[in-house]
């Protein structure tokens, strides 16, 4: 009998994850064994992966909502996803390819620059959308409970669709210029994951900060500009000295953009830069997740 009680207590402790809030053992039968404890939780809290998993369908719905809403009532519809990188490519080709004659390792400039524009467009649009996502969804924050992390994550993930479209466009571009991809392209999926990590690392942190300080809405455009010119989007990584490469690699997109070119076009890999950038990206995401969890409980008070 006593053993049974102990077993029941342990089962409950396991379910609640908090032994301190249990006063009497509850028989683990039916719905009685579920208990949710609401109390102030100071300090840092780990991500509740189990809850996120339980709500996973909501993440899908939020992404799907943003995708289906974005191009409603537009004449060109999803063509807009193509227009932006295409325009960037044309401008860059004119300025950096034609006027400044940036070295491209022998590749036509459009093919060269587009390889970098793909991850950059995803990154810049993704973290920008994530940064303002929470501040723009006050009703959701103050009126209903769900894992708040989904809001910036879904806002950024939407741009994966755009990235997929631009990849098709890039494939067409390579066919037109008669450029074959190198074997390094097998690393592309890994690089895409790294791009997502970098995007969320910055986007999630900014999203939480923007709830408290609307100043960050105005900081995002500056940040985008700074990160873009310090990343080798328009120019090859080779124009920098080793020292500068190490410093600039603190911008996660520095190593990542370079690596996209190495993977697709077979340009020389700069592994130290990639290593530093990858570390920055992962570290920023870990920080972002903890910072978000720490601050999310005050979102509704501020939003």
Partner 1 sequence: MSQPIITCDRLSKRYILGGFRSTGLLSYTPPSLRETISHRLREIRDVVRGKRDRKPREVNEFWALKDVSFEVSRGEAIGLVGRNGAGKSTLLKILSRIVEPTGGCARLRGRVASLLEVGTGFHPELSGRENIYLNGAILGMRKVEIDRKFDAVVSFAEIEEFIDTPVKRYSSGMYVRLAFAVAAHLEPEILIVDEVLAVGDYTFQKKCLGKMQDVATGEGRTILFVSHNMGALSQLCSRGILLENGQVTANGPMREVIEAYFKSASDHRAAQTTFPIEPSKPCQFLSAGLYRADGTPAADFGCDEPFVIRISLEVRRNMLALTPWFVLYNPEGTPIFCSDVRDHDPSITGRLGVGVHSFEIKIPAYLLAPTTYMMNLFCSSHMEQHDTRTSCCEFTLRDLTSARPNRPGVLRLMLPWNHQEEPTHLAMPQPAGARS
Residues in contact with 26: Cβ distance below 8 Å, sequence separation at least 6, in sequence order: 8, 12, 32, 33, 35
Residue among 139, 178, 183, 222 that touches partner 1 (CB under 8 A) = 139
**By CB under 8 A, residue 140 contacts partner 1:** yes
Q: Which residue, chain included where needed, has tokens 């840092």?
A: 44
Residue among 145, 183, 222, 243 that touches partner 1 (CB under 8 A) = 145
Residues 54 and 136: their CA atoms lie apart, in Å, by 25
**By CB under 8 A, residue 65 contacts partner 1:** yes
Helix 159-177 × helix 79-92 angle, to 10°: 50
Q: Is-contact 261 112, C-beta < 8 A? A: yes
Instruction: Tell me the closest approach of the beta carbon of residue 300 to partner 1, in angstroms.
Output: 5
Instruction: Tell me the closest approach of the beta carbon of residue 71 to partner 1, in angstroms.
Output: 10
**By CB under 8 A, residue 55 contacts partner 1:** yes
Would you call 271 helix, strand, or coil by DSSP? helix
Residue among 38, 75, 180, 243 that touches partner 1 (CB under 8 A) = 38
Q: Which is nearer to partner 1, 2 or 36 (CB)?
A: 36
Residue among 1, 2, 3, 39 that touches partner 1 (CB under 8 A) = 39
CA pseudo-torsion sign 97, 102, 107, 113: negative
Give the gyration radius of the chain's Cα atoms.
23
Q: What DSSP string runs through 84-127?
A: HHHHHHHHHIIIIIIIS----TTS-HHHHHHHHHHHHHHHHHHH
How many residues are listed for the chain in this entry? 303
Q: Which is nearer to partner 1, 56 or 98 (CB)?
A: 56
Residue among 4, 10, 142, 238 that touches partner 1 (CB under 8 A) = 142
Total residues contacting partner 1 by CB under 8 A comes to 41
Q: Which is nearer to partner 1, 24 or 180 (CB)?
A: 24
Binding track, positions 273-302, relative to partner 1; x by CB under 8 A: ----------------------x-xx-xxx
φ, ψ of residue 298 in degrees (nearest 5): -100, 0
**By CB under 8 A, residue 75 contacts partner 1:** no
Q: Which residues of the chain form contacts with partner 1 (CB under 8 A)? A: 21, 24, 26, 31-32, 34-41, 55, 57-58, 61-62, 65, 68-69, 72-73, 139-146, 212-213, 215-216, 295, 297-298, 300-302
């Amino acid at each position: 009998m006593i053993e049974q009680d102990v077993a029941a207590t342990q089962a409950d402790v396991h379910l609640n994850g908090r032994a301190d809030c249990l006063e009497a053992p509850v028989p683990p039968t039916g719905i009685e064994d579920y208990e949710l404890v609401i109390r102030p939780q100071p300090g840092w809290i780990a991500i509740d992966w189990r809850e996120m998993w339980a709500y996973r369908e909501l993440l899908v719905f939020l992404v799907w909502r943003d995708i289906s809403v974005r191009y409603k009532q537009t004449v060109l519809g999803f063509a807009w996803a193509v227009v932006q990188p295409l325009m960037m490519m044309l401008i860059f080709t004119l300025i950096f390819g034609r006027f400044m004659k940036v070295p491209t390792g022998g590749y036509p400039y459009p093919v060269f620059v587009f390889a970098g524009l793909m991850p950059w467009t995803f990154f810049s649009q993704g973290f920008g959308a994530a940064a303002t996502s929470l501040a723009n969804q006050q009703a959701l924050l103050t009126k209903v409970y769900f894992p708040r992390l989904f809001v910036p994550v879904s806002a950024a993930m939407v741009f994966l669709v755009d990235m997929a479209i631009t990849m098709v466009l890039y494939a067409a571009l390579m066919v037109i210029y008669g450029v074959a991809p190198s074997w390094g392209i097998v690393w592309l999926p890994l690089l895409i994951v790294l791009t997502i990590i970098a995007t969320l690392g910055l986007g999630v942190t900014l999203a939480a900060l923007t709830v408290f300080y609307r100043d960050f809405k105005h900081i995002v455009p500056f940040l985008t500009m700074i990160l873009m010119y310090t990343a080798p989007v328009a120019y090859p990584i080779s124009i920098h000295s080793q020292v500068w490469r190490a410093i600039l690699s603190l911008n996660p997109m520095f190593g990542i953009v370079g690596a996209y070119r190495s993977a697709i076009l077979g340009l020389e890999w700069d592994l130290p830069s990639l290593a530093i950038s990858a570390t920055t990206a992962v570290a920023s995401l870990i920080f972002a997740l903890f910072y978000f969890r720490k601050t999310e409980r005050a979102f509704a008070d501020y939003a």
